[in-house]
Structure 1
Amino acid sequence: MLGFDAVRGVAALAVVLLHACVPYLQNPMPGLAWSVRDSASRSVDWLFWGIEVFIMPLFLVLAGYFAWQTLSCRGIGPLVRSRAKRLLVPLAFAVCVVLPMDLYTWVLGWVVEGIVEPVKLKSLKFDGAVDRDLWGLSHLWFLQYVFLYVVVAAVVARFDTLRNLTTKIAERLPLAVTLLAAAGVVTLMVAPEVVWGFQHAFLPVASKWVYSGTFFAAGMLVSKVDPRLAFFETRIKPLAIASVMLLVTAVSLGRWNLQYGESALAQSGLAVVTVLAAYAVTFLTIAVSRKINHLSLPLQYLAAASFWIYLVHHPILGLVHLDLKQWMPATAPAVKMAAAFCISVGLSLLTYEGLVRRTRLGRMLGMQWTPSSPPVDVLPMRRESVVTETEIATESVPQRRAA
């Protein structure tokens, strides 16, 4: 499944690109606090919201796909234990190391911007919107959510009644897909800020947890009904057409909604096209990835480093954005966005190479890798072993062990 390695690497870059856009948005994401605000760009705004619509649904569908593979091949215990190791250990590391860096980077930016007093760097006491939007797991929420979905899946699998019910629903594929999409649409109608805003907290937010869970469940459904993904592989062209049309419509309507206020009709339409666009782009990405049968060494390296990039890029971007505003105030926003993206990816890769790839820290986090390791597709393993070694939900993927 080399294609999923490619998706993992490229999608990690898409997450960094998404965050690189934040200071330059025409329509800032409600509830999202950032280290600095800079001059706005229409093109950057389009890029940001285009990625935002589908990037986390993509990861969630693939996380669900591989969770079902592990559950069906190895059982409940191995599923929970493997995800606890691969998700909770990196989450604990990031909470202890990355989030404090995030916190002081953001406060430093606000001090430089004149939003808060320098004394706040010591007291960390804030009022109003600053305090409301500052505290939470930040970009690490995905790790927590996926592990909780795994626990729910394990509980359902443990009880025969629930397992039989979900099996019957899954066998009726059109009904199952309709129910999941409808649940996502209803959730967005009630709480559009799930996608068109940011819900920041240390514990799961109900609306965000439900919406994200529909995509995780869809991944499990796809894995059960079509484990080889043959359905999507033969439908690349219609998926591509649908993806472009739905994504453009979703971003256009979403930007309009952010600019001119909410209406019940616009909010309902936005919910529908957002969910459909997320599914279309996700399934298109899966279909294209199935065509990949060779990865260059740089792309293998990027895939191996993707989890680390996800963990550490956030505070790096915050500092780079602040520096670019101070040193290059007249530079075009799109240029600064591109510079922030390149610098943060470069520094993340340098730290991966120096601190993680061949170190004890890398072994503890499951992120060690050497190019001498053969691709998992050619290893003489049982099917379930291959699956668990190529899991793709970025944060839940075990990297190849060092030789």
Structure 2
Amino acid sequence: MAIPSTPVPGAATSATERLHALDAVRAGALLLGVVLHTTLSFLEPRTWVVGDVSTSPVMNGTYFVIHVFRMTLFFLIAGFFARLVLHRRGTGGFVRNRAVRILAPLVIFWPLVMASTVVAIIIAANLAGEEVPGATPMTPSTFPLTHLWFLYWLLVLYVLALAVRAVVNLLDADGTRRSRLVDPIVRTVVARDLTPLVVGAPLCVAFLLKQDWLLWYGVPPAENGLIPNPVALVAYGCAFGFGWLLQRQVDVIRVWERRYPRNLVAAVVLTGVALAMVGLTPDTEPEALGWHKVVYAVVYTLAVWAWTMGLIGAAMRYLSRPNPSIRYVADASYWVYVVHLPLVMALQAAVSQVALPWFVKFPAILLVTYPVTLLSYRYLVRYTFIGALLNGRRRRRDEKPATEAAVPQAAAR
């Protein structure tokens, strides 16, 4: 498929290779979710249904850093690939493809994940000698989407994107205005390192407008409620929209490839400053509007986008070439993320009262979770209808291969 792009002088890497890099980053964002959720039982103070007898500020710091950038990174790439799939398949094909890849997994796996999560909560409470938490009434504002909330949000963003696109097409039927106005603006924003300021500004404002914003937790959680919370909608909606615009001229992100070292250094420094401002132990009380809150919102927003640009740039530099191992992990990452949480919770519960330090139990949980989920993908999912649902059909090595598509199938998720 021909991918619309504006060439950059000296660009040597093909558009297809760029997709390998972005798909690897998307997979990394999903797999980091396993690490993030594993830290939860070791945080202090306790915020998770499973509380371990061994906690550590190191786990707090790990959670903080990952949470800064993970979902912004994911949704930017989701927006990029959404536009790619739309222009590859047309509106009808896009809707059908997203219904299969996103809506169907949400409908199928949510009841299973919810039921197994409830079982894990009951087991954890019994092992710790605690009272089993009561059920929360399901309302539009409390509906437990669990960690599959990102699928629901993708569907919401797809609907919004199609609606905006329909209006834009009415105003700019031949695309001339977009090519002459929007594309140069995006190129300038990226080339002059204005992305954190321009794309991040709405998030910074949203932070400050939220009176009950808990600074330490950054973008508020989105796993509960069918109505997206405003701050998260701004954060992830802007990322999705910018990813959509970047796909109009793929080679623009080559700028991030060249500048990834300084962006990653900036990300580390800004994250360190943000963490120094709020400490390793989260404050569970909102802070009144003042200079501290304003400066923190600015620093945190800049960190979000420095990580996003730096990690995408590094991937473009080192992961652009096809690699069977990375491709396999990228294919598996969707399944791993969908099914990991009940297993992680069960393992957290199993070790929560064991008199071992966190630095033994934390990696042990990961060393069980990753192999189990990856192997289950290999033997129970990859070549079955479930694998076809999540990633498209995969052929075994002894089967006659189909014609290679120009775009990696995993990327089209």
TM range (shorter): 0.7 to 0.9
Report how many residues are paired.
Answer: 374
Equivalent position to 2:335, from 280, 299, 308: 308
What letter matches 1:20 in structure 2? T
* Pairing 1:386–2:407 present: yes
Residue 74 of structure 1, CA deviation: 4.1
Instruction: Indicate the residue corresponding to 1:288 in structure 2.
Output: 314
State the alpha-carbon separation in 2 of the partners of residues 332 and 245 from structure 1.
29
Q: How far 1:80 moved relative to its partner?
A: 2.6
- 1:143 and 2:151 matched: yes
TM-superposed CA distance for 1:179, in Å, is 4.5
8 Å CA contact retained: 1:9, 1:299:
no
Compared CA separation, residues 196 and 158, structure 1 to 2 (3 A) = closer
| Residue of 235, 241, 253 corresponding to 1:229 | 253
Aligned counterpart in structure 1 of residue 74 of structure 2, from 51, 59, 64? 59
| 1:19 and 2:37 are equivalent in the alignment | yes
Name the CA distance, whole Å, in 2 between partners of 1:214 and 1:308. 26
Choose from 26, 29, 35 the match for 2:50: 35
Q: Give the conservation status (yes or no) of the 8 Å contact 1:62–1:219.
A: yes
User: Contact (CA 8 Å) 2:334, 2:390: kept in 1 or not?
Assistant: no
Instruction: Give the deviation of 1:132 after TM superposition.
Output: 12
Deviates more, 1:248-257 or 1:273-282: 248-257
How far off its partner does 1:200 sit? 3.7
1:401 corresponds in structure 2 to: none
Gaps of 5+ in 1: 392-396, 399-403
The SS at the match of 1:172 is: helix
Shift of 1:223: 2.1
Q: Residue 147 of structure 1: CA displacement?
A: 1.6
Cα separation, partners in 2 of 1:253 and 1:373, compared to 1, 3 Å: farther
Please tell me the root mean square deviation across aligned C-alpha atoms, in Å: 3.3
Per-residue deviation, residues 188-213 of structure 1 (Å, max 9, x unmatched): 22343573553442403232222211
Among residues 17, 25, 28, which one is paired with 1:7 in the alignment?
25
State the AA in 1 paired with 2:352: K
- Provide the C-alpha distance between the structure 2 equivalents of 1:217 and 1:78, rounded to a whole number of angstroms: 20
After superposition, the C-alpha distances for 1:305-343 in whole angstroms (9 at most, x for unaligned) are 1000010000000000011123xx221112211111111
Question: Helix, strand or coil for the counterpart of 1:290?
Answer: helix
Select 2:389's aligned residue among 364, 367, 373: 364
Between the aligned partners of 1:370 and 1:380, the Cα distance in structure 2 is 12
8 A Cα contact 2:110 2:145, kept in partner: yes
SS, match of residue 115 in structure 1: coil
Shift in Å at residue 299 of structure 1?
2.8
| Equivalent residue number for residue 129 of structure 2 | 114
The structural deviation recorded for 1:17 is 0.7
Answer yes or no: is 1:80 the counterpart of 2:117.
no
Deviation at 1:108, TM superposition (A): 2.5
Structure 2 CA distance for aligned equivalents of residues 380 and 366 of structure 1: 15
- Deviation string, structure 1 residues 38-69 (Cα, Å, up to 9, x no partner): 42212121111100110111100101111222
User: 248, 253, 256: which one pairs with 2:277?
Assistant: 253
Matched with 1:270 is: 296
Q: Residue by residue, what CA displacement relative to the aligned partner does 1:227-254 show, whole Å, maximum 9, x if unpaired?
A: 4522212212221221211222233334
> Does structure 2 retain, via aligned residues, the 8 Å contact 1:246–1:273?
yes
Partner of 2:6: none
C-alpha displacement at 1:158, in angstroms?
A: 1.3
The letter of the residue matching 1:321 is Q
1:204 aligns with 2:227: yes
State which of 339, 361, 377 in structure 2 corresponds to 1:336.
Answer: 361
Distance in 2, Cα, partners of 1:154 & 1:86: 17
- Identify if the C-alpha distance between structure 1 residues 18 and 77 changes in structure 2 by more than 3 Å, giving closer, same or farther: same
Q: Which residue is 1:244 aligned to?
A: 268
How far apart are 1:101 and its partner, in Å?
A: 0.7
**Closer, same or farther: CA 68–283 of 1 in aligned 2, 3 Å:** same
Q: 2:97 aligned with 1:70, yes or no?
A: no
- The answer (yes or no) to whether the contact 1:356–1:368 under 8 Å persists in 2 is no
Deviation at 1:10, TM superposition (A): 3.0
Give the drift of 1:258.
2.5
Counterpart contact for 2:42–2:358, Cα < 8 Å: yes
- Establish whether residue 153 from structure 1 lines up as the match of residue 161 from structure 2: yes
Residues of 1 paired with 2:342 and 2:71: CA distance?
20
User: CA offsets, 1:169-200, max 9 Å, x none?
Assistant: 55433679544311111122234357355344
Query: 1: CA distance between counterparts of 2:129 and 2:166?
Result: 55
Distance of 1:380 and 1:354 partners within structure 2: 24
Q: Which has the higher helix share?
A: 1
CA distance in 1, matches of 2:100, 2:278: 38
Deviation at 1:295, TM superposition (A): 5.1
SS at match of 1:355: helix
In structure 2, the residue matched to 1:172 is 185
Aligned mates of 2:322, 2:185 — CA distance in 1:
37
Matched letter for residue 279 of structure 1: W
Aligned-partner Cα distance in 2 for 1:134–1:313:
22
